[in-house]
């Protein structure tokens, strides 16, 4: 549906009313429902994109939804490592994390990226509260592979602290540092954390904002975008090797989350202005929706 006048590109009164009318049934449907949104480090680098994302999150909260933000920060970690003269090493797409790299990751994720998102949201009111997966035992992890160092695998999520914040009508913003039973911190893949948090909260939706338009049937063909799919079809794409490497953790997490009770999972292009609102509050949507 076109909502702009050809002459000015600005919404007229009728178009604005149509947009609101289209959104109304979705607002009613999702009132009081938890929506976990994974916001990637690539998107955070764009100040205008962060501003629009914060507006979307606050609007969702204002119409009765209960958003939870989970964020990564890989590019920002890499940038600080470079500035400090430390060379990053990757194995199978995962950053080898020694003790020094872990300290850098904690500083960036908890001290910089988390603060940036919280600040952007709180421009609109005292709503966002920053958390780390270490807080109140939120994310329990174990070492993923000794060769990777302090890279964690999610073992369990204790959602109590998040549920308390949601009950107070606040917006939790979670940095993906977890800890093991001994209190040792680990860097954790943000896609996996978002899926695990959504499952623990029995969220209505799990949304991944990324830098492609969604899941493709053919990895190199943008025209093969899949608008709606099932967990079975996604597993087939994974088995056949038709999912691009960067999309694999998201697709795996979507499958696990939906099968664990999450209503729907979505993969969207976070570069599209207000992609989150378009997917949640319009008939067509803009990315890939995964159902059971």
Q: Which two tokens stand for residue 92?
A: 């199978």
DSSP label at residue 225:
B
Distance between first and last Cα of the chain: 28
Helices and strands of the chain, counted as H and E runs: 11, 14
Q: CATH topology for 32-291?
A: Carbamate kinase (3.40.1160)
**What is the rounded CA–CA span in Å between residue 176 and residue 264?**
22
- Residues catalogued as catalytic: 38, 41, 74, 191, 250
pLDDT, residue 61, reads 95
pLDDT, residue 8, reads 47
Judge contact between 273 and 52, C-beta under 8 A: yes
Q: Which two tokens stand for residue 140?
A: 């329990």
Tokens 């954790």, residue? 188
| All structural domains of the chain with their residue ranges | 32-291
Query: What's the whole-number average pLDDT of the chain?
Result: 89
**What is the rounded CA–CA span in Å between residue 179 and residue 181?**
7
pLDDT, residue 5, reads 45
Residues of the chain with pLDDT under 70: 1-12, 15-16, 41-45, 284-285
pLDDT, residue 6, reads 44
pLDDT, residue 102, reads 96
pLDDT, residue 23, reads 81
């Amino acid at each position: 549906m076109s909502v702009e006048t050809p002459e000015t590109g600005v919404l007229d009164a009728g178009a604005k009313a149509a947009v609101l009318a289209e959104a109304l049934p979705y607002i009613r449907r999702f009132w009081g429902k938890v929506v976990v949104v994974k916001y990637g480090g690539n998107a955070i680098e764009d100040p205008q994109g962060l501003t629009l994302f914060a507006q979307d999150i606050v609007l969702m909260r204002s119409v009765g939804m209960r958003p939870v933000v989970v964020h990564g920060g890989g590019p920002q970690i890499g940038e600080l490592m470079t500035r400090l003269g430390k060379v990053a090493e990757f194995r199978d797409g995962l950053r080898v994390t020694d003790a020094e790299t872990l300290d850098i990751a904690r500083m960036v994720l908890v001290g910089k990226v988390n603060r940036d998102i919280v600040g952007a949201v709180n421009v609109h009111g005292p709503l966002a509260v920053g958390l780390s997966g270490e807080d109140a035992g939120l994310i329990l992890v174990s070492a993923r592979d000794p060769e990777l160092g302090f890279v964690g695998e999610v073992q369990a999520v204790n959602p109590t602290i998040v549920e308390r914040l949601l009950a107070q009508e606040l917006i939790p913003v979670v940095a993906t540092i977890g800890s093991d039973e001994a209190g040792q911190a680990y860097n954790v893949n943000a896609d996996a954390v978002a899926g695990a948090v959504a499952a623990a909260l029995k969220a209505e939706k799990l949304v991944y904002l990324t830098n492609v338009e969604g899941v493709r049937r053919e990895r190199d063909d943008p025209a093969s975008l899949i608008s709606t799919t099932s967990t079975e079809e996604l597993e087939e794409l994974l088995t056949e090797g038709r999912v691009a490497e960067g999309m694999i953790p998201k697709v795996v997490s979507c499958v696990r989350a939906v099968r664990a009770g999450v209503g729907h999972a979505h993969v969207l292009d976070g570069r599209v202005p207000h992609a989150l609102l378009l997917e949640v509050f319009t008939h067509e949507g803009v990315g890939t929706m995964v159902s059971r």
